[in-house]
Structure 1
Amino acid sequence: MMEWIQAAIQWLGQHPGWLSAALFGIALVESLAIAGVIVPGVAMMFAAATLAGQIDMPLLEALLWAGLGAIAGDGLSFWMGRLFQGRLDVLWPFTRYPRLIASGERFFHRHGGKSVVIGRFVGPIRPVLPLIAGAFQMPARRFFTFNILSAVGWAPVYVLPGYLVGSAMALDIQLPSHFYPAMGLSLALLALIYLVFFRLHWGLGEDSAFYRHLQATVMRSERGRKLWQTLSSERPQGSEFPLPSITLMVACTALFALWALLSMETHLLDALDQNTSAFFATLRSPLLDPVAVGITLLGDPALLTLVSLSGILFFWARGMGAAAFHILAAGVTVTVVTTLMKAGFAVPRPEAVSIPPSSYAFPSGHTSGITVVIGLTASFVAQEWPPYRRWTIYAMAGVPILLIALSRLYLGVHWFSDVIGGLLLGLAVCGLTRVSYSRYDRHRLVGNALSNGTMLSVAVTAAGYVLLAYPYGMARYAIAG
């Protein structure tokens, strides 16, 4: 099989005009029911993406073709499930994989519609989940919504590593000595997390096999038992160890280190930054500018400081001094780290607005700041919900973060790499804060007059700030020249 892949890639190198079709076809087969289990799609996609980087195919084009192939593959699997519903256990080739089909059914019953999104990244059951969704009569509109959204996240994960390797080979970049150890450590941590929680299907909740195995292992020693008990919080559903927060902290720190290395030490992301900037520049219009300015003002450091102070006062009034301190510490941490990195990396901003910000570009302070504020708010709210429903809170919290990040790109004050760097940095700080606070998390945030009043004051403060800063914002973010 590997010899065949090598021969196919060699042929594509001689006929690059077929590379787009190859990316589409590989992604389709990788996502197709049962075929994705047999065909080494990951190796094929890495090889094709490497070739795309070597021949300087636009990254967005490579991502587009791979994403479309993944959508088509899952779509075909979904309609196959509709066609053969009730007969999957008696038809070839499904009869050869009864355990795989059964695992997919259990996963679908447990996670419902979002299994289509989660399952795209989950090892062997990934190619059968769309089949199961079709067989269980999931509404087509809902399926394709999840299908398209998950493909947007899947394509970069599968295409970027190979593309960056190919670009580096083509450019023959001379990298500093610290690049390889830092990149190797980051990749090793990410690979371990991916292996444990996706390929081996080990979950993060207290009902998962990995959680129970980790608890049993740690409890064998006195020091481990104290650490577990110290970090665990008492929730309505019982004691809860912050394994998701630890995973978030480690994964985002590793990703940020890797992203910063690629951004600062290589030119692999330059084309992506330039193309993204040019794309958003074409969208500028008098109709969208006021909306983008209003959204981006919601991420201004001054407003985020006022909102954070409201949260600190709220928790202090509730007698939750530890929560107030951790919010303060998170705000100070993300501000100091972002400021120091901007000055240290000294990445120039795009020259697209009349009055560009005086600070440097990487990482985006608006993105890192709003990620910490919204992320911590969501985490306090989600802790009051059962673990299997918390994804709803985090999905809702992602909307304002995404809008503010997009506003920075639309207005032309940040590169794409700046925004991704700010997001990863903010998530890492959120994870660290939640891990540290878990030892004090003994309170429930039930609704009352104080919490309602705090929410109202935050809304009034945000609206007032945007109204006052809006005129200057419009002049500041006007197109240069």
Structure 2
Amino acid sequence: MLEHFNALVDGLPPAMIYLIIAALVFAEAALFVGFVFPGETAIVVGGVLASQDVLSLPLLLVIAVVAAVAGDSVGYEIGRRYGPRLLDVGVMRKHRAKVAGAQDLIRRRGAFAVFIGRFTALLRALMPALAGSSRLPYPKFLLFNVIGGVTWVVTFTLGGYFAGTAFEHAAKLAGRGLAIGLAVAAVAGLAVWSVRRRRQEAREEAAAEAAEDAAEGTAVGEGVPAPARPLP
């Protein structure tokens, strides 16, 4: 995924790269793009590009934070306006175990759930709309949205920035060929970890849905009266 995004922005002017990163971060929760393309991928690559002086790190941080906060606010408004009807959207039905988990997190943690959800890909796409649907007061939502957005953007952008800096340093010390080999190995390891994490999440979600279906089946079965015994 990192390679695909890097290929997408290769050769583009900085202004266009800023726009692409902002659009992906904004759309993650506002348009549920996070189910397909996690926004942290965009800001990590942005951090790498900033380490290569392609982008300005301070400007990138500001743009990414504004896009993250604005996107989540739009997601919140969608949830507030459409409420329970939002749960009938196909992507919501597909991830109903995650939706139920996010709703439970909001009930237990309130506005703090918005901050927690910022650091998990699927929850990051779901949480703003579900917070709006649950009628969480917007001022509380906005406070934790800003705190979470700033923390998330700074963490992943600086992670990409320092990774890019480390690559350049390794290239000078050990030669660019070895550094590229190490970078490819690191990206491959990250890809394998990401695939395994998503598969694990899918298995957990399938197990939760199976348990939910079994519980519903049991409840229905208990509600059906036993057949009458024939009279002698």
* Contact 1:31-1:126 at 8 Å conserved across structures: yes
| 1:188-203 matches, cutoff 5 A | none
In the TM superposition, residue 175 of structure 1 has moved relative to its aligned partner by: 5.8
User: How far, CA to CA, are the matches of 1:54 and 1:174 in structure 2?
Assistant: 14
From 140, 149, 163, the counterpart of 2:147: 149
Task: Select 1:50's aligned residue among 44, 48, 51.
Answer: 48
| The one of 112, 116, 119 aligned to 1:118 | 116
Residue in structure 1 matched with residue 7 of structure 2 by the alignment: 7
In the other structure, the counterpart of 2:72 is 74
Listed one character per residue, the Cα deviations across residues 344-397 of structure 1 (whole Å, up to 9, x for unaligned) are xxxxxxxxxxxxxxxxxxxxxxxxxxxxxxxxxxxxxxxxxxxxxxxxxxxxxx
1-structure distance, mates of 2:18, 2:115: 24
Correspondent of 1:30 among 8, 23, 28: 28
Q: Give the Cα–Cα distance (whole angstroms) in 2 for the partners of residues 93 and 37 of structure 1.
A: 8
Map 1:225-264 to 2 at 5 A. none
Is the CA contact 2:24–2:33 (under 8 Å) kept in the aligned structure 1? Answer: no
What is the rounded CA distance, in whole Å, between the counterparts of 1:112 and 1:2 in structure 2? Answer: 34
Whether 1:133 aligns to 2:131 is: yes
Contact 1:56 1:167 in 2 (8 A): no
CA distance in structure 1 between the partners assigned to 2:70 and 2:91 by the alignment: 20
- Give SS of 1:87's match: helix
Give the counterpart of 2:85 among 81, 84, 87.
87
In 1, the alpha carbon distance for the partners of 2:149 and 2:115 equals 8
* Distance in structure 1 (CA, Å) of the matches to 2:128 and 2:163: 31
The answer to whether 1:165 aligns with 2:160 is no
- For residue 5 of structure 1, report the CA deviation from its aligned partner: 2.5
Aligned with residue 17 of structure 1, among 15, 18, 22:
15
Question: What is the Cα deviation at residue 174 of structure 1?
Answer: 4.5
Q: More helix per residue: 1 or 2? A: 2
Q: CA distance change for structure 1 residues 76 and 118 in 2, over 3 Å: closer, same or farther?
A: same
> 2:127 & 2:56 partners in 1: Cα distance?
31
Whether the 8 Å contact between 1:88 and 1:95 is mirrored in structure 2 is no
CA–CA distance in 1 between the matches of 2:3 and 2:121? 24
- The one of 62, 65, 68 aligned to 2:63: 65
Partner of 1:109: 107
Q: Which runs of 5+ in 2 are unaligned?
A: 175-189, 202-232
Distance 2:107 2:31 in 1: 18
* One-letter code aligned to 1:97: H
Q: CA 1:175 to 1:111, structure 2 compared with 1: closer, same or farther past 3 Å?
A: farther
CA–CA distance in 2 between the matches of 1:47 and 1:144? 27
Tell me by how many angstroms 1:101 deviates: 1.4
User: In 2, are the aligned partners of 1:119 and 1:126 still within 8 Å (CA)?
Assistant: yes
Deviation at 1:32, TM superposition (A): 3.7
How far did residue 4 of structure 1 move? 4.5
CA–CA distance in 2 between the matches of 1:175 and 1:161? 21
Q: After TM superposition, give the deviation of residue 143 of structure 1 in Å.
A: 1.1
Q: CA deviation at 1:108?
A: 0.8
CA distance in structure 1 between the partners assigned to 2:74 and 2:8 by the alignment: 25
User: Residues of 1 paired with 2:31 and 2:98: CA distance?
Assistant: 11
Distance change (3 Å), C-alpha of 1:58 and 1:5 = closer
Residues 335-346 of structure 1 mapped to structure 2, 5 A cutoff: none
Amino acid at match of 1:125: L
Which residue of structure 2 aligns with residue 474 of structure 1?
Answer: none
Structure 1 residue runs without a partner (length 5+): 177-190, 202-481
Pick closer, same or farther for the CA change 1:31–1:167 going to 2, 3 Å. farther
Distance 1:148 1:40 in 2: 18
Mean CA deviation greater in 132-141 or 164-173: 164-173
For residues 242-296 of structure 1, what are the alpha-carbon distances to aligned partners after superposition, in whole Å with 9 as ceiling and x for unaligned? Answer: xxxxxxxxxxxxxxxxxxxxxxxxxxxxxxxxxxxxxxxxxxxxxxxxxxxxxxx
User: SS at 1:57's partner residue?
Assistant: coil
Paired residues of 2:31 and 2:75 also in contact (CA < 8 A):
yes
**Shift in alpha-carbon separation, 1:109–1:33, aligned structure 2, 3 A:** farther
Deviation at 1:77, TM superposition (A): 0.8
- One-letter code aligned to 1:75: S
Structure-1 separation of matches of 2:36 and 2:27: 10
Q: Distance in 1 between matches of 2:146 and 2:73?
A: 10
Superposed CA offset, 1:181-239 (max 9, x none)? xxxxxxxxxx9xxx9xx9989xxxxxxxxxxxxxxxxxxxxxxxxxxxxxxxxxxxxxx
**Aligned partner letter, 1:163:** Y
In the other structure, the counterpart of 1:318 is none
Partner AA of 1:103 in structure 2? G
Contact persistence 1:33–1:128 (CA under 8 A): no
3-state SS of paired residue (1:86): helix
User: Normalising by structure 1, what TM-score?
Assistant: 0.34
Report sequence identity in percent.
Answer: 27
Superposition deviation, residue 126 in structure 1:
2.2
User: Over aligned residues, Cα RMSD in angstroms?
Assistant: 3.2
Counterpart among 17, 34, 37 of residue 39 in structure 1: 37
Distance 1:31 1:8 in 2: 21
CA offsets 1:279-329 (integer angstroms, 9 cap, x no match) = xxxxxxxxxxxxxxxxxxxxxxxxxxxxxxxxxxxxxxxxxxxxxxxxxxx
* Bigger mean CA offset, 57-66 vs 167-176: 167-176
Runs ≥4 in structure 1, deviation > 6 angstroms? 198-201
Q: What is the identity, as a one-letter code, of the residue corresponding to 1:143?
A: F
Higher RCO (Cα < 8 Å, 6 or more apart): 2
Could you say which residue in structure 1 is the equivalent of 2:212?
none
TM-score (structure 2 length as normaliser):
0.66
How far residue 2 of structure 1 moved from its aligned partner, in angstroms, is: 6.4
